[in-house]
Amino acid sequence: MTDVFADLVGQAEAVATLRRAAASAAALLRAAAPAVSRAGAPAAGGADRDGGHDDLDALSGQVDGAGPADDRAGADPGAGMTHAWIFTGPPGSGRSVAARAFAAALQCVHGTGCGHCPGCHTTLAGTHADVRLVVPEGLSIGVNEMRALVLRAASTPSGGRWQIVIIEDADRLTEAAGNALLKAIEEPPPRTVFLLCAPSTHPDDISVTIRSRCRVVPLRQPPAGAVAEVLVRRDGIAPDVAEWAAAAAQGHVGRARRLARDPEARQRRDAVLAVPRRLTGVGAAFDAASALIEAAEAEAAASVAEADEAERAALQTALGAGGTGRGAAGAMRGAAGQLKDLEKRQKSRATRAQRDALDRALVDLAGFYRDALTMALRAPVAPVHTDTAALAGAGAQKWDAEGSLRRLEAVLECRAAIEANVKPRIAVEAMMLALWKG
């Protein structure tokens, strides 16, 4: 199996839904093909499907029974397909992988997501003319970006199939951007498909009105065994390393791959897992907090440095830096504003990168205390961190289940506080003190 869905690890149910939808979409295109002139009338597809959301869901149940592969058996060729989708699931479960795979299946010349045709290839490579991808680099997606996107998404697909917009991290839409998007989803052009990715359909992540217009594809945290399997098969990683990394990454596929391949990522993890041992007093707790924050800052700085430099150089070239002609003075006046914009964007991206790095560390730390808790409870589950299992076992003896749980909660509260915009250093210091005191 090397089709576009092959990399969706441990998501059989979601894949079945998406295959069915792709088949329905292909059937819709076939049905529309003999009457190309109808394409001008948006009511042909848009209005019908819009109003009949529930009916569609009921119909797709019938298609279910007919078997996922046979789209011609369905009573209505459009039953499995709709204009707007939300892919939800925990980080690393493959939300954006699923959205891209589905986009490829929609653009596939065979309508299946074969993985080999130009439609599949260009979509997965990010070069398909009718697939637009929004990956927010900063903390939010602004209204201007969204308006421009919605406008372009309304055009007729140049490849004759679908015009697709993928929005990663749709939970980072500003309210205004969300409203711009909602308008487009409410009155979708007949051939436009929106694919949103968000952690959940909780109102904090996605507005209730947008959610009500979308079909939801829930992804689950893939089991460690499935993650290890894909690391071995696709990335050629040795089975024992793959198994260790899959467990340590707690179902996050990208994180598992990084741990298996990147020695620096492993060192950072080792440093985080040394924290419980180092908490011997108040001073040590503050030291550990500083070390954790500084490590996250350093990691983030390294990850954005290259992009920052390239953007600055590109802007300087565009502005004709160093020019002495008559136009140069005028260009420089506009340049100040553009440089300021760029700096603002880069700062927002750096903040995001720091939070992401810190969150990865906190997830590792939570895994350690979760191990201590399961051991204190003598629960028959495998430890997250096999390499610190002995240390977690010692903790379990000392703290018992209650103390282990309190510590696990301290880590989770720290994550929640940072998510709610508490200053990271303050949240981490409070957590370290709680971990020390128990």
d(CA 237, CA 243): 10
Residues 73-112 as x/- pattern, contact with Zn ion by CB under 5 A? -----------------------------------x----
Total residues in contact with Zn ion, by rule CB under 5 A: 4
Q: What stretch of H or E contains 85?
A: strand 84-88
Least distance between Zn ion and beta carbon 111 (Å): 8
Minimum Å gap between C-beta 117 and Zn ion is 3
SS3 394: helix
- Judged by CB under 5 A, the stretch of 25-33, 40-48, 114-122, 331-339 that binds Zn ion is 114-122
Smaller CB separation from Zn ion, 33 or 318: 33
Q: Please report how close the Cβ of residue 3 comes to Zn ion at its closest, in angstroms.
A: 8
Strand-by-strand arrangement of the 163-167 sheet: 131-134, 163-167, 192-198, 84-88, 215-218
In the bound state with Zn ion, the residue whose beta carbon lies nearer, of 108 and 177, is 108
**Which of 6/114 has CB closer to Zn ion?**
114
Integer angstrom CA distances of residue 251 from 7, 92, 141, 243: 14, 7, 27, 11
According to the binding rule CB under 5 A, does residue 114 interact with Zn ion? yes
| H-helix or E-strand spanning residue 223 | none
- Using the minimum distance from each CB to Zn ion, give the nearer residue, 121 or 132: 121
6 lies in the site for Zn ion, by CB under 5 A: no
Q: 28 vs 146, which CB is nearer to Zn ion?
A: 28
Tell me how many helices (H) and strands (E) the chain has.
Answer: 17, 5
Residues 306-365 contacting Zn ion, CB under 5 A: none
Q: At what angle do helices 326-376 and 424-437 cross, to 10 degrees?
A: 20
Tokens of 201: 């359909």
CB of 112 to Zn ion, least distance (A): 7
> Which residues does 235 contact at the CB level (< 8 Å), separation at least 6?
257, 260, 261
Q: Which is nearer to Zn ion, 103 or 246 (CB)?
A: 103
CB nearer Zn ion, residue 9 or residue 108: 108
Tokens 């703290």 appear where?
Answer: 399
Determine if 117 is a binding residue for Zn ion (CB under 5 A): yes
Least Cβ distance, residue 292 to Zn ion (angstroms): 46
Reference 353, options 312, 305, 315; nearest CA is: 305
CB of 2 to Zn ion, least distance (A): 11
Q: Footprint of Zn ion on this chain (CB under 5 A)?
A: 108, 114, 117, 120
